[in-house]
Amino acid sequence: MTIYALSVPPDTTSNMSLAAWTPTSGLVDRERRTAAWDLQLRQAARIAYRQLQLLSGPEYGISWIDSYALSDSAPRERSTQEDQDPLLPSDLRLPTVALGPGEHPFPTRYASQRVTLRIEPSIYLDALVRDVMRFGGRIVIRKFDTPRDLMTLDESIIINCTGLGSHDLFGDTELVPLKGQLTLLVPQPEVNYATFGGLQGTGGFIHMQPRSDGIALGGTSEEGNWSLEPDENARQRIVEAHRALFAAMRGSPSLGPAISLS
């Protein structure tokens, strides 16, 4: 087995990912869903969920973590169409515990707690590369410019995993990028939970996930934006919103560890 790739980790999109297990996030055209598509997505999600659980542990950098969705409005007021008609099968959804004022350590009125799967790309991708080599696979750095280039390969079966590269390689103009970026803080091992959302009026959607290689802060998803350049305004918004959130959290003597952005 040979992997042909223009770039390998750490220079791939996968290495830049937050990599929470979120198989239904980032859907760009929900109206075009069909029953067959839903079935295929559910099957793929089931396979991925099972395989990731089999690999969980430090060797592959896959672990479970408590995640808190923070908000000032009660969770039931925020129910979406997705809640009423879930794409993800119920057996792949872990229960959410709605915590009200006084029941959680965050400076918002509500926090919905759920255990989520976290993948650390720098560990996981290295482990996958190591496994390929260990089982006799090869990695060849090479770019394919046209589908005709594939005909030069000796292999009888070719699996296309070129991600966003398919847009140019196969003329797949329906492929739409969602631009995201992360800001990494130095690791803070005492922070053992993830958060989604922040204080009201402090800059839109944000999220924080701790990893062994740093605390990942994010909160962008720009449909149709192909740029690989970090957006400095977005970085500032995301860092400042987290600074406000965790400064408020640190103000209460009864709270657990808050992340440090100083």
Ligand X SMILES: Cc1cc2nc3c(=O)[nH]c(=O)nc-3n(C[C@H](O)[C@H](O)[C@H](O)COP(=O)(O)OP(=O)(O)OC[C@H]3O[C@@H](n4cnc5c(N)ncnc54)[C@H](O)[C@@H]3O)c2cc1C
Q: Return residues touching ligand X (CB under 6 A).
A: 5-7, 12-14, 16-20, 22, 143-144, 161-165, 169, 180-182, 218
Nearest CB to ligand X, comparing residues 88 and 247: 88
How far is 53 from 48, CA to CA, in rounded Å?
Answer: 8
Work out how close the CB of 258 gets to ligand X at its nearest, in angstroms, rounded to a whole number.
22
Under DSSP, is residue 174 helix (H, G, I), strand (E, B) or coil?
coil
- The distance of closest approach from Cβ of residue 44 to ligand X in the complex, given in angstroms and rounded to an integer, is 12
SS3 content of the chain, % helix, strand, coil (to 5): 30, 20, 50
Q: Where are the beta strands (DSSP E) in 102-180?
A: 110-119, 138-141, 178-179
Closest residue to ligand X using C-beta atoms = 165
Kindly tell me which of 64 and 256 has the beta carbon lying closer to ligand X.
Answer: 64
Which residue number, 19 or 99, has a Cβ lying nearer to ligand X? 19
CB of 100 to ligand X, least distance (A): 27
Spatial distance between the Cα atoms of 54 and 181, rounded to a whole number of angstroms: 29
Residue 217 near residue 206, CB atoms below 8 Å? yes
AA letter at 112: S
**Pure H helices in 16-102:** 35-54, 81-84
* Closer to ligand X by Cβ: residue 17 or 260: 17
Q: What minimum distance in Å lies between the beta carbon of 148 and ligand X?
A: 12
Contact assessment for residue 86 and residue 33, using Cβ atoms and an 8 Å cutoff: no
112 vs 220, beta carbon nearer ligand X: 220
End-to-end CA distance of the chain: 48
19/111 with CB nearer ligand X: 19
CA distance 41 to 23: 8
* Nearest distance in Å: CB 19, ligand X: 5
